[in-house]
Structure 1
Amino acid sequence: MKHVPFNVMAAAMRANAPAGVLGNPRADAGNVAQLLKDVRAEVGGLRDDVMKKAEAAVKQAEKGEALSTELKAQIDEIMPKFNEATKAQAKLEGQLEALEARTLDVEQLAASGGRGGQAQLSVGAEVAQSDELKAYVEGGLQGSFTFKPQAAITTVDTSGAAWSERETTPVNMARRALRIRGLLNVVTTGASVIEYAKQTLRTDNTGMVAEGGTIPGGDLGWTQTETNVRKIGHSIPVSDEAIADIARLQGEIDGELRYGLNFKEETQLLAGDGTGQNLSGLITEATAFSAAAGLPDTNRLERLRLAMLQVVLNDYAADALVLNPTDWAAIELTKDSQGRFIIGNADSPAGPSLWRLPVVESNSMIAGSWLVGALAMAATLYDRQETEVLISSEHSDNFIKGMKTVRATKRVALAVKRPSSLVTGDFTFV
């Protein structure tokens, strides 16, 4: 009987070992080649033995004899060994091929200065070897010659310094959550001046009338009111290289400029003073807080409840409170005499709310001030022109400096039509 020697078993084990445990490619290639030679010889011997057993089985079958127990046992023993050795041979052949490829990679790596990949050429060498230069010379050096190096980095660095890696996603500064626009009624317009009729008189003499009696008369009056569309704009200089080198940067610039417009819009919606090109904002147009007589007004909670009452007494229903985050935190941290939080629990899943109204936290609201009202019906924001971002070289000395000017603009108008539905004040207590 033919036994599988230890070196074949070792080769089979090595053939199934992970690639990560292999050592130096050149040394391993020699070791694997020797093992492969031994395994091939062993496979050849096993194949001969298998063929002999197969021929004996065929002869017995031709004579009409049943396969003898002894021959069957020999075949059952040798076939698994033959199959295992054949598999080991195939795997070792694959490993040898991989190791030879790795050896070639190492040699190429050494030739390129240890940088990996293909050997890098200097710009001069790349130009000198280019087909474009050869064609230019053969053409008699007529006209101009332009060549663009193909490699992103074309100069071989032999200093041993680490190569830099460029992250293509810019790291942006923080952007404020802008929430005020979403509280208003927003419509589009094609006009530069928004005109609307605002009721300024209601003389109501409605009364009970006897049969045949005279119906009392009243009076209604409106005033023609208008608000102008205002432009919000912003521009920045950007180098040609910044735009060309990182395609994503252009999108980031667009985003930053759009954010700048929306940020300015929010501050104008809240507190624009109406002078010059400024909008007349919600706080500017709102009714000043006036506490109802006979009711407590000693802390933040009481004052905001009284502001809601003032809106109700003006025959409107408040739909939101706008607070600075610091003031809202102070309210949430308010405790009773036993040290318990008054406004819910720290793990409450509910959104910010107070006195049944949603609380809108905004850094655009000055700390210590607040706004309460029926914002959805108090004012209308008109969009005359959506945000537009343009890039041009036609500005100042952009052309000779290789710069571009990126400009963003939008046009809006704000009409606060029901100022008495808004109440504003602060948390100053005397």
Structure 2
Amino acid sequence: MKPFRISLRAAFVCALALAAVAAHAAGVDLAVMFIHHPDVALGLAGLGMLGETRDVTMDEVKAALEKIKESVKEQAEKALHEAKSSGELSKKTKEVVDETLIKFNELQADVRDLEKKMVDRRGGEPERQKSYGEQLTESDSFKRYVENGKQGSMKLELKAVTSANAGGLIRPLYEAEPVGLPKRRFTIRDLLPVVPITTSSVDYPKQQSRTNNAATVAEGAAKPYSDYVWTNATAPVRTIAHLAKLTRQAMDDAPRLVGEVDSEMRYGLGLVEEAQILNGNGTGQNLSGIITQATAYAAPITIASPTSIDMLRLAMLQGAMAFFPATGIVLSMADWARIELTKTTEGAYLFASPQGTTENRLWGLPVVDTPAMEVDKFLVGNFQIGATLYDRMGVEVLISTENADDFEKNLATMRCEERLALAVKRPAAFVYGDFGLVT
């Protein structure tokens, strides 16, 4: 057990003095006997009680206490026996003796509390040093000063607290909440209908052309034929996945860190998913995204010097004329900020007030501003009927210690993946264009 510095001389002398008072009240002078009793002397000398304070262990303190306890008990019982034999035992003497034993028991309790504090102290760290403020407010002098109505003066000697000492004594605060990097919100998925599936692909019939020859005909004349061409389309299920390593110690010691890594991995999938929904080129294991299949912007009507706001309205018209009225607009964050900052000739903002907030809407449609959209580009479309997102397997996170050499290195592998398919069924429902503001 690690030694600690303690001054118990006053405490033991007090205990012995109380025992002596009890003996004296009983008519027996035991003061000399107590201080020269072999066990008591051995206990005091063993702890340096007859000299200066030194480093002692708790075991030494307990051993000395036990010796003194036996001596106090033996001499007190002897005093009471002699007093009772002589008939001189009084009620007052008994009360003094009882009080002596109570005081001694309290001393033992104090030592037990000290021992408990030492055992509870983590890693054998020294007890935290009290600050000047704590020394002041916890002192008896200050308490008496307050009880006296804070009148008069107060004298108090404070123990020095140096930065060198305090630095080693103050235990650091450990925050369990991990501090992660900022994350962007995902919104493209929210624009689309999402359908769960259990197959490895989605097959659907898709109309390729329409030749409408409907006409008025005379009675008995042949009716014209219209021509409709359909084809079979397939949206394959693709997997988005990644891995991460965790140490066993991190999993045991910081369970919230495991949750944070889980969140980061799900976020990583979301980043790729949103980019694939918009910009997937359909090659290899990539999805066939909306932008790569969308109809190019071509203004249905001509207006003088069209602004970005004008162009978005014309794109909506283009979709409506193709019988796909738009349900949403996708812009980069920079382009939406530029539109929000548009002012009238008097300097007033068209869309929002700097003192308040407004919903992201333009021409009655919700505006999704996302970093996944390239600056100076826009996408306007009917997301409800133009495309469908199919979930084959939702985001799944698994942890295993049986990957590669994880077992021998005390590591765990976390795997996060999802499986999904995207079908852009009506490319004409989407209009993709360039503002032409960035060269």
Given the two structures, how large is their TM-score scaled by the length of structure 1? 0.64
CA offsets 1:293-349 (integer angstroms, 9 cap, x no match): 422353211111111111112111000111112111111111122222223544565
Query: 1:301: which partner in 2?
Result: 309
Equivalent in the alignment of 1:378 = 386
Point out the more displaced range, 219-228 or 286-295: 286-295
Among 202, 215, 224, which residue is 2:223 paired with? 215
Aligned partners of 1:401 and 1:166: how far apart in 2? 26
- Matched residue of 1:223: which SS? strand
Whole-Å separation in 1 of the counterparts to 2:177 and 2:351: 41
Provide the rounded CA distance (Å) in 2 between the counterparts of 1:370 and 1:396.
Answer: 46
Task: Measure how far apart 1:417 and its partner are.
Answer: 0.6
What aligned pairs does 1:324-339 form with structure 2 within 5 A after superposition? 324-339=332-347
Which amino acid is 1:120 matched to? V
Q: Please say if residues 234 and 408 of structure 1, whose CA atoms lie closer than 8 Å, have aligned partners that are also in contact.
A: yes
Match of 1:343 in 2: 351
Q: Note closer, same or farther for the CA distance 1:161–1:234 as it changes in structure 2 (3 Å cut).
A: same
Aligned pairs for 1:306-325 within 5 A: 306-325=314-333
Return the alpha-carbon distance in structure 2 between the equivalents of residues 260 and 323 of structure 1. Answer: 21
Query: Match of 2:242, SS?
Result: strand
Partner Cα separation in structure 1 for residue 183 and residue 397 of structure 2: 19
Which of the numbers 290, 297, 321 marks the counterpart of 2:298?
290
Displacement after TM superposition at 1:369 (Å): 1.4
CA displacement at 1:119 relative to structure 2: 1.5
Could you report, residue by residue, the CA deviation over 1:166-221 in whole angstroms, capped at 9, with x for unpaired residues?
A: 22221222111000001001101111121111001211111223343432221212
Mapped to 2, the partners of 1:296 and 1:185 lie a distance apart of: 37
2:213 aligns with 205
Superposition deviation, residue 376 in structure 1: 1.3
Which residue, 389, 411, 416 being the options, matches 1:408?
A: 416
> What's the CA shift string for 1:361-393, capped at 9, x where partnerless?
112212211110001111111101111111112
Mean CA deviation greater in 187-196 or 203-212:
203-212
Q: How does 1:31-430 map to 2 (within 5 A)?
A: 111=114, 118-120=117-119, 153-157=122-126, 160-347=168-355, 350-429=358-437
* Equivalent-residue separation in structure 2 for 1:363 and 1:202 (angstroms): 38
CA distance in structure 1 between the partners assigned to 2:196 and 2:276 by the alignment:
18
What is the alpha-carbon distance in structure 2 between the residues aligned to residue 297 and residue 385 of structure 1? 48
What is the CA distance between 1:285 and its match in structure 2? 1.1
- Cα distance in 2, alignment partners of residues 222 and 369 from structure 1: 32
- Counterpart amino acid of residue 370 in structure 1: F
Q: In 1, distance between residues paired with 2:240 and 2:325?
A: 32
Q: Distance in 2 between matches of 1:337 and 1:156?
A: 71
Is the partner of 1:119 in helix, strand or coil?
helix
SS at structure 2 position matched to 1:386: strand
CA RMSD in angstroms, aligned pairs only: 2.8
Rounded to whole Å, the distance in 1 between the matches of 2:401 and 2:238 is 26
Q: Are the equivalent residues in 2 in contact too, given 1:393–1:403 (CA < 8 A)? A: yes
TM-score by length of 2: 0.63
- What percent of counterpart residues are identical? 41
* Distance apart, 1:274 and its partner CA: 1.3
What's the CA shift for 1:350? 4.0
The answer to whether the 8 Å contact 1:120/1:156 transfers is no
Mind listing any 5+ residue stretches in structure 2 that lack a counterpart? 1-105, 128-164
Match of 1:20 in 2: none
Question: Structure 1: which 5+ runs fail to align?
Answer: 1-100, 122-150
**Distance between the aligned counterparts of 1:367 and 1:314, measured in 2?**
26
**What is the alpha-carbon distance in structure 2 between the residues aligned to residue 332 and residue 223 of structure 1?**
43
Q: Aligned pair count?
A: 297
Residue identity opposite 2:236 in structure 1: N
**Equivalent residues of 2:118, 2:124 under 8 A apart:** no
User: Separation in 1 of the partners of 2:389 and 2:243?
Assistant: 24
- Distance across 1 between alignment mates of 2:357 and 2:347: 21
Distance 2:405 2:286 in 1: 31
* AA in 2 matched with 1:118: K
In the alignment, is the contact (CA less than 8 A) between 1:291 and 1:297 conserved in 2? no
Q: CA deviation at 1:253?
A: 1.9
Instruction: Give me the whole-angstrom Cα distance separating, in 2, the residues matched to 1:108 and 1:327.
Output: 72
